[in-house]
Amino acid sequence: MNLMASIKKIFSIVLWCAIGGAGLALLVAAINKKSSSLCKGLEVQINTDGKGSFLNKKDVIRLLEREGLKDLTDKKVQSLNLHKFEEALGKQPWIKDVQLYFDNNQVLKVKITERVPVARIFMISGSSYYMDSSGKQLPLTNPVPLKLPVFTGYPADKMGLRADSILDHQIKEISTFLNRDPFWSNAIEQVNITASKTFEMIPLIGNQEIEFGDGNQYEDKFRRLLIFYKRVMTKTGFEKYASVNVEYAGQVIGTRRGGPVSRTDSLQAIRNVMQIIRMARKMESDTGKIREVKPLENNQITEQSLKSYDFPEENENKPDNKK
């Protein structure tokens, strides 16, 4: 009985080894057949939606031809070094990720994911570049200017020279917030970088300067600034203050102008900001309209949504005819 069991066990092992060997042989044969097959064409896909903002199919083909990948049709699959071409494409500043592979029909697939810019940076030399969602510097290759937060006064003379990693990180964080927030994306026109590497923001409404300090606790600073807008400036007028300082925790310091402020100008400033609020509320339902280019980071919302902001309606601030 024990002998029969041993024979059955040995027979079973031999059988499974034979099946495994046959399967392996078929797999190797299939791989060799595919490798010796001829390339049937090239397909390029840029981004998951198939639309490229900075590259197109012709650009990619031109880059591959520069690396020696020409006249693909009827070339043997095994003769093409896909890793080499992936490395070459990966060195292009606007390409974040690239994959090359042959499908079952021997068509070479090229899948590319572009980098997403979140800010435009102007250096002290006057030259500029884009910064992407990972903090990488990108050249201005796109002929159409992108609607992005603008930072000026970056302490470098040319692209590639970084001020420091902390400043770059803070620029990336602030610009991502501005891109994501419907109100502030329309309210802030420009961000200046000071010699001490702090930020001064220029709003679209009013002539005041916002002294922001460094990029730490930026969400809380914008929250305090919005409260000041809501409780003070929508009542006094946006031209009454020369500067607003949110640098210090728990404080908003407004510095008034020396001269009088026209009631008409104040009311117009309030109407203007009401228009921005209405635009922001409308855009909340379609965040793709907030910016032409959407950052990749997850949205981080302020403590209140725009729907809860109780700004006065425009008709509540219409001037009467009394002097």
Summarised one tens digit per residue, pLDDT across range 189-241 is 899 999 999 999 998 877 788 999 999 999 999 999 988 888 887 777 777 88
Residues 207 and 218 in one domain: yes
**Which residue range(s) make up the domain with 74?**
41-114
Last residue of a domain, one of 114, 137, 152: 114
Residues 59-71, mean pLDDT to the nearest whole number: 85
Same domain? For 75 and 201 the reply is no
pLDDT at 320: 43
Do 201 and 54 have their domain in common?
no
Q: Is residue 290 part of a domain?
A: yes
- Domain match, 81 and 158 both: no
Average pLDDT, stretch 63-83?
Answer: 81
Residue 49's pLDDT is what?
80
Same domain for 199 and 216?
yes
Q: Picking from 104-118, 146-160, 178-192, 266-280, which range would have the lowest pLDDT averaged per residue? A: 266-280
pLDDT, position 167: 93
At 88, which CATH number?
Answer: 3.10.20.310
Residues 174-190, mean pLDDT to the nearest whole number: 91
89 and 230 both lie in a single domain: no
Q: Is residue 13 part of a domain?
A: no
DSSP alpha helices (H): ranges in 36-158?
A: 57-66, 82-90
Given 69, 90, 114, the domain boundary residue is 114
Q: Are residues 215 and 68 in the same domain?
A: no
- Within a domain: residue 168? yes
Total count of residues recorded for the chain: 323
What confidence score (pLDDT) does residue 222 get?
94
Q: What is the pLDDT of residue 267?
A: 52
- Domain co-membership, 205 together with 302: yes
The DSSP annotation for 229-293 comes to IIIIIHHH-TTSEEEEE--STT--EEEE-SS---HHHHHHHHHHHHHHHHHHHHHHT-GGGT-SS
Task: Among 80, 114, 148, identify where a domain stops.
Answer: 114
Distance CA 121, CA 66 (A): 31
Whether residues 97 and 194 share a domain: the answer is: no
Q: How many domains does the chain have?
A: 2
% of the chain exceeding 70 in pLDDT: 67
Tens digits of residue pLDDT in 123-179: 988 889 999 988 889 988 766 677 889 999 999 888 877 767 899 999 999 999 999
In this predicted structure, what is the pLDDT of residue 208? Answer: 82
Q: Give the least confident one: 121-135, 210-224, 254-268, 276-290.
A: 276-290
